[in-house]
Structure 1
Amino acid sequence: MRRKHPIWKLAIVCFLTMTVGSGCWDSKDIDNRLMIGVIGLEKAPETGLRVWFRFPLPRAGQETSKKDFFTMSQKGFTVPDAMNKLRYKLPKALETSSTRALLLDEPLAKTGLTPFLEFAIRERSVPLDAVVAVVRGNMERIFSSPNPTGELSGIYTKLFFEPYAGGIPRKNVTKLWEVYAKFYNPFHANLIPVLIEGEKNSFSFGGNAIFISGRMVGEINKDESLLYEIFTRRFHDSEVELMSRSDIRIVHNHTRIATSLEGGKPIIKIDCSLVTVLIDSSRQRKLNESEIIAELESDLNGHAKSLFEKTQREGADVFGFGNRFRSRLEPSQYDHWNEMFKSAEISYSFHIDMRNTGLEFIDSK
């Protein structure tokens, strides 16, 4: 007599059969998706927001249009609202997971970013490692002009900042997750790179925008951005410092930071050790090593002084020094860190090691 199988085993077999045969009912083929390369947010007088989209085209579409991308824009009260309105105009689905960069119009950045970036964090539709930058110029021209080196839209912007491609220490790269994390960290203000519309290329690096509570309140230049990279230990690769009678390449940096709290006043001491190489020198006057080091140290001190004056005036701790004081302050004092940073006593020193290399050796006396 055959033994009957329990009814639950039969049910499992039926369920597995239905699962394998049903497939993914909500999937869309790659041919039916429009991959977004870069998104731009621009202030619009009527609705408050205009969203720009740049889509890379497959090779089949390039034969007729002779372009590797096309651009569209849509007004809306929010970014999701603009995306939903755009879907009524397109024959394919919008694919935001391919976004490589978010470009923010400068007037929009001065009014506040939090309401316009929240969707990306809540919905997780845009990758958190997408590059974020402020744009100074015509957003339409930047989105409609072809990239000078031929990369697909979005990839050009990402490569512009990446250390393994066009990134250099002065170009501060900021990711979407960093921007949003600092919105809710009272001890760390945002610093977002500024891109200036170019005449022949898409854009050029102009410095970094200082943000307080999600709103752009100031800006630091390229030289001050280099000091920011050094002080925050983000320095990578190497960077050239141009001086009056010589050019120096900074090849290595080691920064030590000591903090203390004296009478409620933050004390911050920064000690930087730099390894440098001489790459060019004046032919009119021969310099010795001590003169070159003295001039370089003077330049770095000047940039650092200007950098801290700008950030302390706004109470913008873009360096994250406040995180070192978290355990020494009461929770009720956290929201007052901006005011404490304004009165902080910050000192810095540079120790420069000059490597005497090149075709012509300098005098070390």
Structure 2
Amino acid sequence: YTFSLRSADFFALQPRQTLALCSDRRGLCINPNRQCSGKRYNVPPSAEFVARVAGIPTMAKLPYQDTAEGLDAAFVGVPIDTGTSNRPGARFGPRQIRVESAMLRAYNSGTRAAPYESLVVADIGDVNVNVYDLKDTCKRIREAYRKILATGCIPLTMGGDHTIAYPILQAVAEKHGPVGLIHVDAHADTSDVVLGEKIGHGTPFRRCVEEGLLDCKRVVQIGLRGSGYSADSYEWSRAQGFRVVQVEECWFKSLAPLMDEVRNQMGKGPVYLSFDIDALDPGFAPGTGTPEIAGLTPIQGVEIIRGCHGLNLVGCDLVEVSPPYDTTGNTALTGANLLFEMLCVLPKIKYY
């Protein structure tokens, strides 16, 4: 997926062409107009020269590799919906996000971030889950993320239902200790037992608290809404020390001021970002398992992620995209763009 080009051929190209080509067959940045450092980077091919519909889908048309070795950040899929309580289909989320991610380009025009001039990034495929056994799947996820994190790579995860946050955070906390959490969602996902089961997409953050994986004074939940099983569905979260931002506090306003406060709350410690696509209103993101009306806008979703710039992010996920309910592909497209925004706020990203 990176261009193979001899130096003599490169400098024979017209100026407009040289602006579009950044790497040789090894992924080495060779374009002086990009002011690259000379470090080896993986640069996706430009749609100016390679049709978006061509090639095997990887996230953002990045190169694929088997492991996280040598990577600063990696996109990884966790294709499960075994923990889903309502509409299934999130097991196909990573695949569809990759397809829609062909629209992504190399630079963030809004923030001027240049992720592929800053970090070595690739798509490392999917965790080999067990679609018949959720507990075994959690074990497989935990072991896979231990290996990813051991390399120093920051994982950017495509779900999959929200159950996956629990084993991922087990691995993250093993490496970093209790972490801060920015949780963007329609639901708190702090139930104790659902239908007799303690593991599912409605329980991950209860399990994380019980196991000491979270620094509870550095947890914020944004966008919570919908009917509940009690008059105060978020009492337990507040009792743990979480900051709860219900959706009514977000209506009709920019969330940039909120994120100023969140950055102060998170401080310099490690932070994990978990973004459930159902945080967005189903008018914008209908392809999800448990939709709730009156949600966040995509603009607010982007504001939240961009507001994480400067934090010590050690991992991110985008979960609950369900392609069977996403007839236009817009939910997966939105998910792909939000994942790109996450990449653009990781530590050490270069901005023009």
> What TM-score do the two structures reach when normalised by structure 1?
0.26
Q: Which has the higher strand share?
A: 1
Bigger relative contact order, structure 1 or 2, given CA contacts below 8 A and separation 6+?
2
Question: Max radius of gyration: which structure?
Answer: 1
